[in-house]
Amino acid sequence: MSILTYIAGWPLLAALALVVVPRNYRVIIRAIAVLATLISAVLAVKMFAQFVPGANGFQFEQQIPWVESLGISYHVGVDGLNVGLILMGAIVAFAAALCSWEIQTREKEFYILLLVMTGGILGAFASLDLFFFYFLHELALVPTFIMIGVWGRGEKKNYATFQITLYLSIGALIALIGLIALYLQSGANTFDIPKIIEHAKTNPLAVNAQNFIFPLLLFGFGILVSLWPFHSWAPLGYGVAPSPTAMLHAGVLKKFGLYGLIRIALPLLPQAAQSWAHFLALLCVGNILYVGWVAMRQKDLNLLIGNSSVAHMGFIFLGIASLNLIGITGAVLIMIAHGFLAALTFALSGYIYKQTGTLQISELGGLCRKLPFIGTALLMAAMAGCGLPGFANFVGEATVFFGAWKIFPTITIIALWGALVIGGIYMTRAIRNILHGPLPEKWNSLSDANFWRKLPYALLLASLLVFGFCPKLLTEKINPDAQKIVALATGNMVTANAPSTLAVNFVAQNK
C-alpha cells in the first residue's frame, strides 16, 4: 500500500467510523476527526521529506485495476507537481479540523462531511487516473454544498448555496465531458494519465479535436477555480460558508481545477493550449484587475477575503498561460502558498465572527488591543496577501511575473500593478479599520485565542514562512516535473541549464 492511500484513506475511514459513534459523544467525535487529519498531515510531511527531487517517473505509486473493460484503475502517485499540493492539503485539513470548534450544532454530520471532503481532495490530488481524479473531486465537492447550506451564516445563505451548487456542478460536469472526450479521443483506451500521455507522444490528438476539448476543460475547470467572468459564486459562497469549509474549499479544493489544467490539459492538448493561452491571459486581467477593484469596495471582511482570493487565482492562470518553465513553476508555488494563506485568512475571520458576531468592517476597530495574537496573525496574512517578501506568496508571484514577462509584457505590468497597488490598498485599509483605531465599547469583552485555538493559525503561518524563506524545498521538486509538462506543451525540450531554470534558482536563492 502506498503512503498516499493512507493519507487519503484515514480521513475516509474516520468518516465511516463516525457514522456509528452516537451523536452525544461530542468529544470523541471531535477527537476522531482531529486525529485522522493529524495522521494524514504527519504522513504527508513524511512523504514530502522522503520525496526524491528530479527522480524519473512517479513516486509512492500504487495501482489496482478497477474496471478492466474500460481501463480504469485506482492509480496514485506523486511527482513534483502534486507532492506540495498534497502536503498543503493535509496541513490545511488538520487546521480546518482544529478550527471546527466553532460548529456547535449537528457536529457529527459536520465532521463526517469534513472528513469525506478531506479524503476526497487528497485522493483527487494523488490520483493518476482520469476517472478517479474526477470521482474523488466530486466526492469532495458535494459535502461543500451541504456544509454551506446547513451550517452557513447570514441571511444570504440560501441564495449563496444555490449559486455555488449551480456554478460548481455545471463546471464539474463540463469538465467531465471534456475528460470523457479526451479519453475517447486519445485512443489509448485507458483512463491512466501517464499511459495516455505516453500514448499521445506518438499519436498526438488531432488539432480540431484539441480545439474542441481544451475549452471544455478550460471553462469547466475555470468555473471551479473562479476564473473571471465565472467567479461570482466564490466571494458569496465563502462569505456565508462556515470557516472550516471555506478553508478547505478556497485553500485546497479550488486548486483541483488548476492542477487539472497543468496535469492533463497542457501535456495532452499542446496546440490548443498554445492557441488559447493568449485568451486565458486576457481573462486573468479580469481576475486580477476587475475582481481586485471589487475587493476594494467591500464592506464585509469575508467578502473582501473572498474577492481577494479570486484575484489571486488570476496570477496562477497567468503562470499557466505563459506556458514556460518559470511560469508553471510559479503557478504551482502560488497554488501551495495561496492554499495556506486562504485557509489562514478564513480561519481568522471565522474567529473574529465567532467573537463579535459581525464581519462588517465599519463595526469593527481597534481589535488588536483585545486580540493581540489574532490581530497579529491577521496582519501577517494581509501582508502575505499583498506579496510581502518572506512569505511563500511572494516567491510564487515573483516567479510568475518573471515567467510571464517575456510573453505578455503588458498584461504582466497590469498584473503587477494589481498585485502591489490594488492588493496593497484593500489589505492595508482593512487592517487599519479592523485592528487599529478606537475600540468600540461593545467589544470590550472579547478574548484572545487560547493555546489550542492558536495552534491552527500558528501552523499555517509557520508553513507560509517556511516556504517563504526556503522556497527551494518546493522549487527543487517542482522544477524537473514542470519541465516535462512544458516540454510536452510547447513541443521542444528545455535543457537543464536554460536561462529559465537559472532564473528560478535566482528567485529561490534570494528569498
Partner 1 sequence: MLEISVIGLGLVLMLADLFVPAERRRYIGYAAILALGVLLVTSLSGNGSCGQFGTAFGGMFVNDALSLFFKQLFIVAAILVLFMAAEFADKLAEGSVAEYYSLILFALAGMLFAASANDFTMLFVSIELITITFYVLVSFQRSKLASLEAGVKYLILGALSSSFMVFGIALIWGTTGELNFTKLAAVAPQFADSRIFLLGVLLVLVGLGFKIAAFPFQIWAPDVYQGAPTPTTAFLAIGSKAAGFVLLLRVLFTAVPSVTAHWANLLIVISAITILYGNLCAIPQRNLKRLLGYSSIAHAGYLLLGIAALSASGQAALLYYLGGYVFTVMAAFFVITLVMRHLATEDISGLAGLNQRSPLLAATLTIAMVSLAGIPPLAGFFGKFLLLKAVVEAAKATHNLGYICLVFTALAGVVISLYYYFGVIRAIYWSKSSEDLSPIELSAPAKLSIWICLAGIFWLGLFPNTVLNLANAAAAVLK
Q: Is 122 helix (H, G, I), strand (E, B) or coil?
A: helix
Q: Which of 508, 288, 274, 498 is nearest to 396 (CA)?
A: 508
Closest distance to partner 1 from the beta carbon of 168 (Å): 10
Is 73 a binding residue for partner 1 by CB under 8 A? The answer is: no
Closest distance to partner 1 from the beta carbon of 129 (Å): 13
Is 16 a binding residue for partner 1 by CB under 8 A? The answer is: no
Residue with cell 465599519: 362
Judged by CB under 8 A, which stretch of 133-141, 194-202, 365-373, 404-412 contacts partner 1? 133-141
Is 142 a binding residue for partner 1 by CB under 8 A? The answer is: yes
DSSP state of 256: H
Closest distance to partner 1 from the beta carbon of 314 (Å): 27
Closest distance to partner 1 from the beta carbon of 156 (Å): 17
Is 180 a binding residue for partner 1 by CB under 8 A? The answer is: yes
Please identify, using beta-carbon distances, which residue of 37 and 186 lies nearer to partner 1.
186
Span 320-379, contacts to partner 1 by CB under 8 A = none
Is 13 a binding residue for partner 1 by CB under 8 A? The answer is: no
Span 438-497, contacts to partner 1 by CB under 8 A = none
Evaluate the CA torsion angle 301, 302, 308, 309 in order and state its sign. Answer: positive
Q: Three cell numbers at 30?
A: 471531535
Closest distance to partner 1 from the beta carbon of 252 (Å): 18
150: Cα separation from own chain's centroid:
23
Is 163 a binding residue for partner 1 by CB under 8 A? The answer is: no
DSSP state of 413: H
Looking at the chain, how many residues does it have? 511
Closest distance to partner 1 from the beta carbon of 139 (Å): 5
Closest distance to partner 1 from the beta carbon of 187 (Å): 10
Q: Which residues contact 14 (CB under 8 A, 6 or more apart)?
A: 32, 33, 35, 36, 115
Residues 119, 226: Cα–Cα separation, whole Å:
23
Q: Is 127 helix (H, G, I), strand (E, B) or coil?
A: strand
Judged by CB under 8 A, which stretch of 170-178, 388-396, 425-433, 494-502 contacts partner 1? 170-178
Is 15 a binding residue for partner 1 by CB under 8 A? The answer is: no
Q: Is 357 helix (H, G, I), strand (E, B) or coil?
A: coil
Q: For residues 378-404, b (16+ Cβ closer than 10 Å) or e, as one string?
A: bbbbbbbbbbeeebbbbbbbbbbbbbb
Contact set with partner 1 (CB under 8 A): 66-70, 109, 131, 135-136, 138-139, 142, 145, 149-150, 165-166, 169-170, 173-174, 176-177, 180-181, 183-185
